[in-house]
Amino acid sequence: MWHETWGEVLSSREVAPGVTKMVVLAPGAVEGLRPGQFFHVRWQESSAPFLRRPLSAFSADKQSGTLGLLFRVVGKGTAAMARIMPGSPLSLLGPLGNGWPAPRSEHAILLGGGIGVAPLVMAASEYADAGVDVQFLLGAASASDLLALDEIRATGARLAIATDDGTAGHHGFVTSLLPAAMSAAPAGKTVVLACGPGPMLRAVQRACGDAALECFVSLEQRMGCGVGACLGCAVKAQAPGSQYKKVCTDGPVFDARTVVIEDV
């Protein structure tokens, strides 16, 4: 069940151009947290920006009570967050959303495009710890934009890299690594988890549909309340009869067969 916790920022640093990793002391927030869930974050009481911003749990250490966030500066909210100094308070509403499905397959293929890696690293840990063979396909525009390399390696997942400009790993989109990964992971024994930009997720959705592979996508959407009350985060459903789904409460993780993936 979600609640509001005030945490204390322990550290905050730029780990790649325009991307900040923040560690927050917030024991109340990490208790019961599942990989793939998110927090609706506010950092200054009663001042701009008024709305909270949704950010995935990137890491969590229940013993020390710390929560890791990894975010890209795209607008005024995330820019303000990147300026927060250690020692500052941070309001965390959550944990929110459903999170990734619990591990139950023999193989898992995780695809993270750009900042879409953020909600996947905890899943890689949980799946590898449960004995699942995890292949992590990581993509970015360029070598300097690759995120969370150390954290992914620490999970024990097998890592393959693709960059759009060929400066590291395979030269091309991360989805071009999928056919080789799929050939080593049979349908019926494999689950695919993906987070990233809309075009990437649509390519994953198509490829998994064609190969009859179970696939879950984590969607990003602009949010208002974050708790199911405002309909601000609705996405189109594929199932007849239920026309929209709320990313904040029905998601952010969806079976890829059930949603229409659009660009935010």
Q: Closer CB to ligand FAD, residue 54 or residue 103?
A: 54
3-state secondary structure string, the chain? Answer: CCEEEEEEEEEEEEEECCEEEEEEECHHHHCCCCCCCEEEEECCCCCCCCCCEEEECCEEECCCCEEEEEEECCCHHHHHHHCCCCCCEEEEEEEECCCCCCCCCCEEEEEEEHHHHHHHHHHHHHHHHCCCEEEEEEEECCHHHCCCHHHHHHHCCEEEEEECCCCCCEECCHHHHHHHHHHCCCCCCEEEEEECCHHHHHHHHHHHHHHCCEEEEECCCCCCCCCCCCCCCEEEECCCCCCEEECCCCCCEEECCCECCCCC
Query: Should residue 12 be labelled a site residue for ligand FAD when binding is judged by CB under 6 A?
Result: no
Q: Closer CB to ligand FAD, residue 36 or residue 103?
A: 36
Positions 138 through 167 that interact with ligand FAD (CB under 6 A): none
Query: Should residue 264 be labelled a site residue for ligand FES when binding is judged by CB under 6 A?
Result: no
Query: Should residue 76 be labelled a site residue for ligand FAD when binding is judged by CB under 6 A?
Result: yes
Query: Should residue 229 be labelled a site residue for ligand FES when binding is judged by CB under 6 A?
Result: yes
Positions 23 through 62 that interact with ligand FAD (CB under 6 A): 38, 49, 53-56
How many residues touch ligand FES under the rule CB under 6 A: the total is: 12
Positions 206 through 235 that interact with ligand FAD (CB under 6 A): 220-223
Pattern 231-260, ligand FES, x by CB under 6 A? xxx------------x-x------------
Site residues, ligand FAD (CB under 6 A)? 38, 49, 53-56, 70-72, 74-78, 115, 118, 220-223, 247, 252, 264
Interface residues with ligand FES (CB under 6 A)?
223-226, 228-233, 246, 248
